[in-house]
């Protein structure tokens, strides 16, 4: 299908873009989700504001213990960045799982987060990494934690006229073990379930466990019951199995044409077990 007629602008300056968004413009990043939705006429914005020429939104840098990724940084840039791979390997691993080469070349971290697809890959890792989002509008800036950012299916804390300008990612403790394990929906590449695990060990015990889950419920979430069960243990196969069984605690699992709620719940346990096993084995 063909999209409704719309006005298009491509500012090169962030302030100019924010002004256009304040007047009702819809941000366009990689277009990997927005364009198909417009072509299906599920969205019909009157004015599309292309962020692709704002160079100031595309960067990856390290500052005082945190990585900063501009919202327009593509999945491929995240996946292949030596800085992300060494400082925050979980994010690079998640990016490498997204779609195919074309999608990774066009799609952006800001666009993926803003879209808040319940089966998207990044949100599981963003949860496990406890990132923050810097948001901006014509009236100012604010910072929102990842747990407050994802509100519901395709719903975020973004207000009208507001965009993500950057993702702030704590640099990983080099001794931490991480893993992202995903059950792929083969037609789209999206996650039927995806689990990101981040484990720190000391003195033979798990001192910190962070588990982010995507695909299972209406939005990505942290599996805090599973984290609690694993912390303080030696991270044996039995400890991991117990924690993995708690990964869906308190979550209403999705049912769709790809998987029933019961199947998703079982697969979440299996993939949580895999992610935790790999992360525990990588933690030094």
| CA–CA gap between residue 58 and residue 222 (Å, rounded) | 28
Least distance to ligand FAD, CB of residue 180, Å: 11
Name every residue whose Cβ is closer than 8 Å to that of residue 33 and which is 6 or more positions away in sequence: 107, 111, 112, 115, 117
**Please, where are the H alpha helices in 108-159?**
109-115, 122-129, 146-149
Least distance to ligand FAD, CB of residue 229, Å: 28
Nearer to ligand FAD, 51 or 69 (CB): 51
The candidate with the shortest Cα–Cα distance to 281, out of 224, 211, 206, is 206
Nearer to ligand FAD, 176 or 192 (CB): 192
| CA–CA gap between residue 129 and residue 210 (Å, rounded) | 7
Least distance to ligand FAD, CB of residue 232, Å: 33
Least distance to ligand FAD, CB of residue 221, Å: 16
End-to-end Cα distance, the chain: 53
Nearer to ligand FAD, 154 or 263 (CB): 154
Nearer to ligand FAD, 125 or 200 (CB): 125
Which residues make up the interface to ligand FAD (CB under 6 A)? Answer: 26-34, 51, 71, 98-99, 103, 106-108, 110-112, 114-115, 117, 120-122, 158, 163-164, 188-190
């Amino acid at each position: 299908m063909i999209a409704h007629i719309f006005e298009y602008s491509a500012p090169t300056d962030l302030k100019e873009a924010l002004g256009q968004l304040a007047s009702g413009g819809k941000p366009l990043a990689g277009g990997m989700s927005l364009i198909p939705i417009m072509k299906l006429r599920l969205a019909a914005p009157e004015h599309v504001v292309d962020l692709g020429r704002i160079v100031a939104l595309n960067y990856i840098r390290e500052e005082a213990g945190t990585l900063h990724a501009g919202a327009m940084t593509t999945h491929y840039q995240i996946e292949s960045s030596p800085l992300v791979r060494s400082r925050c390997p979980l994010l690079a691993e998640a990016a490498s799982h997204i779609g195919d080469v074309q999608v990774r070349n066009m799609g952006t971290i800001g666009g993926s987060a803003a879209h808040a697809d319940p089966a998207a890959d990044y949100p599981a890792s963003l949860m496990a990494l406890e990132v923050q989002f810097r948001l901006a509008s014509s009236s100012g800036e604010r910072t929102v934690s990842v747990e407050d950012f994802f509100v519901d299916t395709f719903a975020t804390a973004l207000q009208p006229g507001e965009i993500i300008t950057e993702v702030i990612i704590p640099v990983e403790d080099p001794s931490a073990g991480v893993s992202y394990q995903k059950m792929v929906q083969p037609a789209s590449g999206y996650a039927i379930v995806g689990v990101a695990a981040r484990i720190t060990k000391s003195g033979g015990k798990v001192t910190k466990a962070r588990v982010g889950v995507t695909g299972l419920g209406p939005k990505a979430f942290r599996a805090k019951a599973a984290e609690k069960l694993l912390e303080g243990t030696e991270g044996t196969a039995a400890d991991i199995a117990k924690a993995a069984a708690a990964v869906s605690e308190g979550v209403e699992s999705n049912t769709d044409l790809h998987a029933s709620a019961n199947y998703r719940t079982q697969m979440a346990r299996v993939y949580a077990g895999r992610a935790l096993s790999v992360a525990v084995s990588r933690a030094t």
